[in-house]
Structure 1
Amino acid sequence: MDISRLTRQSHRRTRPGLRLLDRFELAGLRAHEACGTARRRFALWLAQACTDPIIWIRPDWHPDRLHMAGARADVDPGRVVLVNCCRPADLLWCAEEGLRSGLLPLVVVDLPEPPGLTPVRRLHLAAETGSERTGRAPLCLLLTPGDGGAAGVESRWRLSPAHQSDTPTWSLSRLRARDAPPAEWSVVRGTDGRPTVKQTDPTPQIEPA
C-alpha cells in the first residue's frame, strides 16, 4: 500500500457524522476515541443517532463482553452486529473493511490498547473510500482502556459512572478535539429512560499531556 495516500485528505473535508446525546457532533469519515469505565455505554449512546445496524468488533479472548440485556436500555440489540476476532491484528483490519464498504454509519472497535498513528490514519482513509463508493459518511469509534491515547483521532472522549442515589449519572469529558476545547458535562438518565446532558455550560478541563 502507498503510505503517502494516508495523508491525501485533510480533516477539513469531513462530513456531518453522528450526534451524541442530541448535542455533540462527531464528524463522519473519521475515527474517534472513547475511554473510561463506561466507554461502551458511550458507544451505545452514539448508536442512538442512527437507525441502521452497526458493527461492533471485539477480541474474543477478552473477558469483557457487551451485555445485551443492559444494552437494551439504549439501543435495540438486534441492530448490533457482533464480530469476534481471535487475533489482535484482525480487530483493526475488520474495522477497515467495515468502513471501506461504506454501508453502515458506525463501526465500533473494542481494543485492548490504543493504536498508533498509522493504523488510525488507515481508518480515516478506509472511511473516505467507503464514502466515495456509497455517498455516506461512515464513522469509526475506538474503545480503549484507561485514559485512552490513540494517536491521530478526530476527538477523544471519556465516560465514567458518577451515580447519585437512585439517579443514574455519568461524567462525560471531551479530552481533545480538533475544533473544540476540552470540557466536562454531567449526564443523567431521565424518567423516560433517555440520557440527557444536565449541565448547560461546559466546565473547561486541562487537556492531559
Structure 2
Amino acid sequence: MTAHTLLSRKTHRPPPGLPVMEQASLPLSRVHEICGRARRSWAVHIASRLLAELRTGPIFWISPTWEHNQLNTDGLVSLLPPQSLIFLSPLRAEDILWSMEEILRSGAAPLVVADLPAPPGMTAVRRLHLAAETGAGEGRFRPLGLLLTPGNGGAPGVETRWQMEPDHRPGQTRWRLERLRARMAPPKSWSLDRLGSPPQDHAGGRAGGI
C-alpha cells in the first residue's frame, strides 16, 4: 500500500493507521495522547515517520507562548525538513485546542501536535475526534492529532495513550516507551536505544523497526 493510499481520505474502511513499529500503529482521523518527560521526542519521531511515509506536509506544532520547553529547531534539521513545520504560539490556553480543532477540521495537514499544560476534558477530546473525521471527508488527508500532556496524562476519550520516559545509562542513551491505553490493543512497553532504531519490548524480544 502506498503512502498516498495509506493517508488519503479515499482509503478502505476501517480507516488505516500510521505504523510506528511492528504491530503498533496510530489510527488516523483520531486523536492520541502522549505523556511523560520525553513526550516531545516521541511526537517528533511520529512526525518524522509520517513524513517518511507521505513525503509531504505541512505539520502543525501548537505550543503556547509561555511554555519554556520549546522545540530546538536547529536540533530538528536531521529529523524533519524545516519547510514541513508550521509553529503556532497561542496567547491564551483556550486557543490551543481551538487552533487544533480548526486545523483538523480542514483536513489540510496530515498531523497536528498540541503541547498542552494539562489534559483536556472529555468534551474537548470528542470535538477533536469529530473535527478529524470531518477533515478526513473534506480535506486532503485523514488528519492525525497528538495531545502532549505532562506527567502521566489522563485525557479521557483519546484513541491511544503513550508514555515516553528517558531511561539513560552511563554511556548509553535509551528511552522507555509504554502504550498505556488503546481501544484495539493491550498495554505494552518497549525499550528504545535511539529514536529510529528497531525497538525492543520490555521482555527483551525484538519488536520490529520504526
- Aligning the two structures, in what range does the TM-score lie when normalised by the shorter sequence? 0.7 to 0.9
Q: 1:95 aligns with which of 88, 96, 100?
A: 100
After TM superposition, the structure 1 = structure 2 runs for residues 1-209 of structure 1, keeping only pairs within 5 Å, are 15-21=15-21, 24-48=24-48, 49-50=50-51, 51=55, 52-134=57-139, 136-189=141-194, 194-199=196-201, 200=205
**Pair 1:86–1:147, CA change in 2 (3 A):** same
Are the counterparts in 2 of residues 14 and 29 from structure 1 also a CA contact under 8 Å? no
> 1: CA distance between counterparts of 2:159 and 2:71?
25
Displacement, 1:132? Answer: 1.0
Secondary structure in 1 matching 2:118 = coil
DSSP 3-state at the match of 1:176? strand
Aligned length, in residue pairs: 187
Q: Which residue type is aligned with residue 32 of structure 1?
A: H
Identity of aligned residues (%): 47
Q: Is the 8 A contact 2:37 2:165 kept in 1?
A: yes
Between 140-149 and 19-28, the greater mean CA deviation after superposition: 19-28
Write the distance in 1 (CA, Å) between the matches of 2:158 and 2:32: 5
- Distance in 1, Cα, partners of 2:30 & 2:99: 16
Query: In structure 2, do the counterparts of structure 1 residues 142 and 40 end up closer, same or farther at CA, with 3 Å as the change threshold?
Result: same
For residues 104 and 23 of structure 1, do their structure 2 counterparts lie closer, same or farther at Cα, with a shift above 3 Å needed? farther
User: What SS class does the counterpart of residue 195 from structure 1 fall into?
Assistant: coil
1:44 partner amino acid: V
State TM-score, norm by structure 1: 0.83
- For the Cα contact (< 8 Å) 1:14–1:28, is it kept in 2? no
Q: Which residue of 2 aligns with 1:3?
A: none
Answer yes or no: is the 8 Å Cα contact 2:199–2:206 preserved in 1.
Answer: no
Are residues 175 and 120 of structure 1, via their aligned partners in 2, closer, same or farther at CA, if it must alter by over 3 Å? same
* Aligned residue type for 2:45: W
What is the Cα deviation at residue 54 of structure 1?
Answer: 0.4
User: In proportion to residue count, which structure has more strand?
Assistant: 1
Change (3 A) 1:121 1:57: same
Q: What 5-or-longer segments of structure 2 have no aligned partner?
A: 1-12
Residue 126 of structure 1 aligns to a residue whose secondary structure is helix
Deviation at 1:22? 6.0
d(CA) in 1 for partners of 2:28, 2:72: 27
TM-score with structure 2 setting the length = 0.83
RMSD across aligned positions (CA): 1.8
> 2:58, 2:78 → 1: CA distance?
16
Distance 1:135 1:93, change over 3 A: same
Q: What amino acid is the match of 2:109?
A: L
CA distance in 2, matches of 1:118, 1:39: 23
| Residue-by-residue CA offset, 1:16-54 (whole Å, 9 max, x unaligned) | 132224652100111100000000001111112223220
Deviation, 1:74, is 2.6
